[in-house]
Amino acid sequence: MTGPQSLQFVEYLHRGRQESDPKKEVTSDDSAQQRSAPGAPHAKLWETTNLSPTEFADEAAHFFGHSRVSLQEILAATPLISAFSQRFLRETLVFPYEVADRGIHLAVADPTDLAPRRAAEIVLGPDIKITIASSDDLAAALDQRLADHDPTAHAEAGSLPVLREDDVDSLRDLASGAPVVRAVNDLLEKAVELRASDIHIEPFQSGLVVRLRIDGVLRPITAPAGVVPQAVISRIKIIASLNIAERRLPQDGAARLRAGRTDIDIRVAIMPTQHGESVVIRILPKDRGLLVVEKLGFGQADETKLRRLLKLPHGMIVITGPTGSGKTTTLATILSILNEPTRKILTVEDPVEYEIPGINQSQIKPAIGLTFASALRSFVRQDPDVIMVGEVRDTETAHVAVHAALTGHLVLTTLHTETAAAALPRLLDLGIEGYLLRSILRAVVAQRLVRQLCERCRSQKILTDFDLADDPRLATLGFQPGESVPAPCGCERCSGTGYRGRLGVFEVLELDNTLRDLIGEKTDGLEVDQAAIRGGMTTMLEDGIAKCRAGLTSPAEILRVTTTR
């Protein structure tokens, strides 16, 4: 994005929007204008603002004088996408189409980016009318129409080559061929566009099944067609530097690559199954956004408590929750709070999901003996103030982490437990003596992630006697017949799910003298939990109900991820 038009539009967003609504800031700093400077690389301008994609499109259409089109209008027109590569369309986020008696149009999200317009004029001719659509609508239109026009979608299964189990050379050649490479690249790009955290590729007798985990819930998508399933798996192995000849044992790998406009890290896990090899790809975008506590979703009381705990000079703070509950994001946010020139911070992680300037981050490499425990032993000789351990997985790591906290360091780590109180018996089970735990444990934060209601289509629902009879847990949450509660609806922006994005629900268990007295050889997690609640701890369920009543999520989401005590 270059040129005076870009700068003028950025200034308009800064001045015009703030004049019309002083409370609604466009950006928190001058980053948008800096990225708009001549010679700067093209960026997604709408992502540098606090405007929604729809609001940004409205402003762009008003400023540049172009027509504003909706998703329905784009899909109703005749697509002209066959003359362009999928990668070009997805990376530039444009959609060429034709309307009867109205000529050829090019729907764009960013009218200041002239390169795709010039490319379209070369292919379709100079008489192209520019229209403005939101980035969400363009992504949805491309997703639907490219699937309709995929030339491999109609390939007959009988035309695919049949490979023997030991035909590794042919499999390697197929996996390096253009159709398979394109199919895997398109799958990764689609996952990034849909904000997926994981890709699940599962072989069955009928063929490959592909599902994306979006906002914590798996969603089926169309599997790559016209390519040999084994070649797709082998291509992923090649990307992750794995052995394509090994099909009997599990394998784990990693890679750094570019999907569309986004730089991502991927973690690949291969597992042999009855009908082939199952693959799970964890997607870790490099640009994860700002790490600020306010975006996590802590309640006011819990946030105040957490900030007070982070001022302690030493001790241990534990974050708990199942896989995928956002523990790493919470830890990274805490580190960003502590990240000051006066503190030396060391981390050992697996993998390093957030790269934070000013913090020394290490990734474990078990193959060469660099484990959590061995890294921790070296850390204490590096004169740190704060140590972050990605996960306490075994007795050795637990002991080293506890002794690091005893010797004057603030240690942050994670555990896999159901509740905050359950972390105490878990640490004791790992061999930590009760008197040590009473000395060093400062707090335990338990969390889950719930889907956030789509801001564009969320609605209200009046609870009936039937609703409460159908799910009696609603009554235990305090909901009454006739009460209005937030509910999902579904629109193009959220792909009909009614949810878009996630936020955390938390409980912060701070160790006081009463709770420390309960720590012993036979510590009962339930007893600790009840004592903490009596002491004023807000449970995850209560935090979720508060977020539900605030209109951020639905009762069904709270019940999906939390349990009543």
Write out the chain's pLDDT in tens, 565 residues: 445 666 677 666 666 544 444 334 444 344 333 333 333 334 566 566 667 778 888 888 888 889 999 888 898 899 998 888 887 888 888 999 999 888 999 999 988 888 888 888 888 888 899 999 988 888 888 877 876 665 444 444 444 555 555 567 777 777 888 888 989 999 999 999 888 999 999 998 888 899 999 998 999 988 887 788 888 999 999 999 999 888 889 999 889 888 877 888 899 999 999 888 999 999 987 766 557 778 888 989 999 999 999 999 999 999 999 988 889 889 989 999 999 999 999 999 887 888 888 999 998 888 888 888 889 888 888 999 999 998 898 898 999 899 889 988 999 999 999 899 999 999 999 999 999 999 999 999 999 999 999 988 999 999 888 888 888 888 877 888 888 999 999 888 888 889 998 999 999 999 999 999 999 878 888 899 999 999 999 999 999 999 999 999 999 899 888 876 6
Angle value at C-alpha 410, between 519 and 359, nearest 5 degrees: 145
Q: What is the pLDDT of residue 324?
A: 84
The Cα 159–Cα 352 span in angstroms is 43
User: Do residues 244 and 268 make contact, with C-beta atoms less than 8 angstroms apart?
Assistant: no
Task: Report all structural domains of the chain as residue ranges with CATH numbers, in order of start.
Answer: 4-10+39-146 (3.30.300.160), 168-285 (3.30.450.90), 293-451+500-537 (3.40.50.300)
Among 58, 56, 36, CA closest to 47:
56
pTM for the whole structure = 0.68
Burial class from Cβ neighbours inside 10 Å (0-12, 13-18, 19+) for residue 283 reads: buried
Q: What is the pLDDT of residue 564?
A: 67
Q: What is the pLDDT of residue 71?
A: 87
DSSP one-letter code for 538: P
The Cα 493–Cα 52 span in angstroms is 11
Cα torsion 309, 311, 312, 317 to 10°: value is 40
Q: What is the pLDDT of residue 524?
A: 86
| Identity at 255, one-letter amino acid code | A
Q: What is the pLDDT of residue 150?
A: 56
